[in-house]
């Protein structure tokens, strides 16, 4: 049970119960990406607003398990204020951490470090990465059309 206790740490439960930056905004300042995991029903939409190379805002909405929903909130909190380059690096680092690949220890994932425990639950990797993958797609759109 220790492993599960670790997984459902305070940070995760806090973001699950009190999600930050939740709710989508209908504006062309945002790029939007929606991902659905049909097998478990996780369904998340992530938006980002980028201006002058800086992530100005991140929004999210959807439904799913605690790992999925909380990680969208943690993601938004971490990304707002980052430049595109570091936002991409943080995303890579997070995904590497979850998939048990080498990580760059110098990058500070802040609250997102709480998801380290997910690697002990390979069946939950999808839950922990879905919002981040959606965010990554919005970043890609920003760099594809240069804002």
Does residue 54 belong to the site contacting other proteins (CB under 8 A)?
no
- CA distances for 145 relative to 26, 42, 61, 84, 140, angstroms: 19, 29, 24, 13, 9
Q: Does 78 bind other proteins (CB under 8 A)?
A: no
CB of 89 to other proteins, least distance (A): 29
Nearest CA to 55 out of 27, 75, 25 is that of: 75
* Interface positions, 3-42, toward other proteins (CB under 8 A): 3-5, 7-8, 13, 17, 38-42
By the rule CB under 8 A, 123 interacts with other proteins: yes
Which of 84, 121, 125, 141 forms a contact with other proteins (CB under 8 A)? 121
Q: Which has the closest alpha carbon to 113: 127, 124, 103, 123?
A: 103
Choosing from 55, 75, 127, 130, the residue that interacts with other proteins (CB under 8 A) is 127
Phi-psi region of 55 (alpha: psi -120 to 50; beta: other; left: phi over 0): beta
User: Where is 131: in which H helix or E strand?
Assistant: helix 125-144
Contact segment (CB under 8 A) with other proteins among 48-56, 62-70, 105-113, 128-136 equals 62-70
Binding segment toward other proteins, per CB under 8 A, in 71-79, 88-96, 99-107, 116-124: 116-124
**Binding to other proteins by residue 100, rule CB under 8 A?**
no
Q: Which residues, in sequence order, are CB contacts of 67 under 8 Å at separation 6+?
A: 7, 12, 115, 118, 124, 127, 128
Where along the sequence are the contacts to other proteins (CB under 8 A)?
A: 1, 3-5, 7-8, 13, 17, 38-42, 63-68, 121, 123-124, 127
């Amino acid at each position: 049970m220790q492993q599960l206790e670790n997984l459902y740490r305070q940070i995760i439960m806090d973001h699950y119960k009190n999600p930050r930056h939740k709710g989508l905004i209908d504006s062309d300042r945002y790029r939007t990406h929606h991902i659905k995991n049909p097998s478990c029903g996780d369904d998340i939409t992530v938006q980002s607003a980028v201006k002058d190379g800086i992530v100005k805002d991140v929004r999210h909405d959807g439904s799913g398990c605690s790992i999925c929903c909380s990680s969208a909130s943690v993601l938004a909190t971490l990304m707002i204020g980052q430049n595109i380059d570091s936002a991409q690096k943080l995303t890579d680092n997070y995904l590497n951490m979850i998939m048990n690949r080498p990580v760059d220890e110098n990058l500070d994932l802040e609250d997102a470090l709480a998801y380290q425990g997910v690697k002990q639950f390979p069946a939950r990797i999808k839950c922990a990465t879905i919002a981040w993958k959606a965010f990554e797609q919005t970043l890609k759109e920003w760099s594809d059309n240069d804002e």
